[in-house]
Amino acid sequence: MRRRTVVVLGLVALALVAAACAPNATQSALEPKGPEAQKSYDLFVPVFWVAVVIFFVVEGLLVLFVIRYRHRKNATRIPPQVHGNTRLEIAWTILPAVILAGVAVPTIATIWDLAAKPTGDILEVNVLGHQWWWEFDYPDQQILTANELHIPTGKPVYLTLCAVGFGYGAPVPSEGGPPAPSACQGPPDQPPPAAIGASVIHSFWVPELAGTQDVVPNQTNHLTIQADVPGVYEGQCKEFCGLSHTYMKFTVVAHTPDDFQRWVAEQQAPTPVPEPGSDAAAGLEVFLSRLPSGGGCTDCHAIAGIEGPNGQPILNNGGPNLTHLMSRQCFRGCTLATTDANLRRWMEDPSAIEAGSFMPDYGLSAEQLDQLVAFLNTLE
């Protein structure tokens, strides 16, 4: 009977492991796709098996004693009153200490390894956590994008992570107002970001490429990620950051180096001007206008090459920069596909989709919505 129990337990464990490794999980820490994630995984696996061995030893002893020393009917034996054994105590103090020391050495080595800034040919990207979306700023390439982090394969990408938004003591900055207190320090010629939403703690996690790094207001954190093969890797904000924390996802799109250069060139291409008289041109008008409520799209959204209502470049980044919006697969924390229907639904009433959304419902007419969608479609 005991043997059968062991067999059943073993099969259950195998089934669990098999299920755990099932290939349908798309955001799994068990399938590292780059050297940084591999380092975490290479520690996880041996420690896991050490834990499994200890598990079976301790639980095995427990089951063994419970069966072996169970009370039998009519037995009147009172067991010898053993009070302890100092040698055993010393043994089971020292043995775990030795095992733990064995675990500690590679642990500490990897902590320092992961904390080091990669050297050589690297790509640097600033990651800005907003409520509830991610902004990616490529200072050397002069690219601002959102919710999709594009990287080349085979190259360490050194991320600088900051939380963006207003501090709770300060009023929401108006257009052209003071810089948000906690933004990543960009290059001096970079416009100071305005802010919407609050500056709260987020956490950047793309498990197939690296472990977690929190994004903390007023603190500049770093994380290295790297993908070995092209692909789309899913990521998600891991630190509870308010009402719609659940929907603060993102993807990392890894290209071959050539494809990456092509992507950079596309993103740097000038924004096309909509054909006069077209729906798109009307949409641009709506985009630039003051809407009846007094606000407007340009309070938060910038597009490279398009001047704001005052004739100056739009500097705001309270919402995602919309330059080449349609080159992205997703928006709204990468939880909606960039289709016409979704864009329209979103602009019609953001709060109906996202609880606590910072994007207002401007009461746009059906015609205005159509025109805006037509305009956004030109941002390829």
- Which parts of 72-91 interact with another protein (CB under 8 A)? 75, 77-85, 88-89
Site for another protein in 197-236 (CB under 8 A): 198-201, 203, 205, 207, 210-214, 216-219, 221-222, 234, 236
Task: Lay out the site mask for another protein across 236-265 (x = CB under 8 A, - = otherwise).
Answer: xxxxxxxxxxx-------------------
Site for another protein in 156-185 (CB under 8 A): 166-170, 181-182
Cis peptide before 133, with omega less than 30 degrees from 0? no
The least distance separating another protein from the CB of residue 101, rounded to whole angstroms, comes to 8
The least distance separating another protein from the CB of residue 153, rounded to whole angstroms, comes to 21
Is 114 or 291 the residue whose CB approaches another protein more closely? 114
What distance, in Å, lies between the first and last C-alpha atoms of the chain?
68
For tokens 């427990």, name the residue.
62
CA distance 332 to 320: 9
Is 212 or 377 the residue whose CB approaches another protein more closely? 212
The least distance separating another protein from the CB of residue 124, rounded to whole angstroms, comes to 17
- # chain residues binding another protein, by CB under 8 A: 97
* Residue 362 neighbours by CB distance under 10 Å: 20
The least distance separating another protein from the CB of residue 61, rounded to whole angstroms, comes to 5
Q: What does the buried/exposed string (b/e) look like for 337-350 if buried means 16 or more CB atoms within 10 Å of the residue's CB?
A: ebeeebbbebbbbb
Is 59 or 367 the residue whose CB approaches another protein more closely? 59
Site for another protein in 306-365 (CB under 8 A): 335, 355-356
Q: Which distant-in-sequence residues (6+ apart) come within 8 Å of 155 by Cβ?
A: 121, 122, 123, 226, 257
For tokens 């490429």, name the residue.
209
The least distance separating another protein from the CB of residue 71, rounded to whole angstroms, comes to 5
What is the secondary structure of 321-339 as a DSSP string?
Answer: --TTGGGSSEETTTTEE--
CA distance 22 to 24: 6
- Compute the C-alpha angle 149/202/129, nearest 5°: 45
Site for another protein in 112-141 (CB under 8 A): 112, 114-115
Is 79 or 270 the residue whose CB approaches another protein more closely? 79
- Among the residue ranges 27-35, 134-142, 281-289, 364-372, the one whose residues contact another protein (CB under 8 A): 27-35
CA distance 101 to 85: 25
* 3-class secondary-structure state, position 23: coil
What's the one-letter identity of residue 148?
A: E
- 51, 229, 232, 352: residue in contact with another protein (rule CB under 8 A): 51
CA distance 195 to 181: 9
Instruction: Determine, following the binding rule CB under 8 A, whether residue 269 of this chain makes contact with another protein.
Output: no
The least distance separating another protein from the CB of residue 368, rounded to whole angstroms, comes to 28
- 8, 11, 14, 58: residue in contact with another protein (rule CB under 8 A): 58
Instruction: Determine, following the binding rule CB under 8 A, whether residue 30 of this chain makes contact with another protein.
Output: yes
CA distance 252 to 147: 8
Is 29 or 122 the residue whose CB approaches another protein more closely? 29
The least distance separating another protein from the CB of residue 123, rounded to whole angstroms, comes to 21
Residue 40 β-bridge partners: none
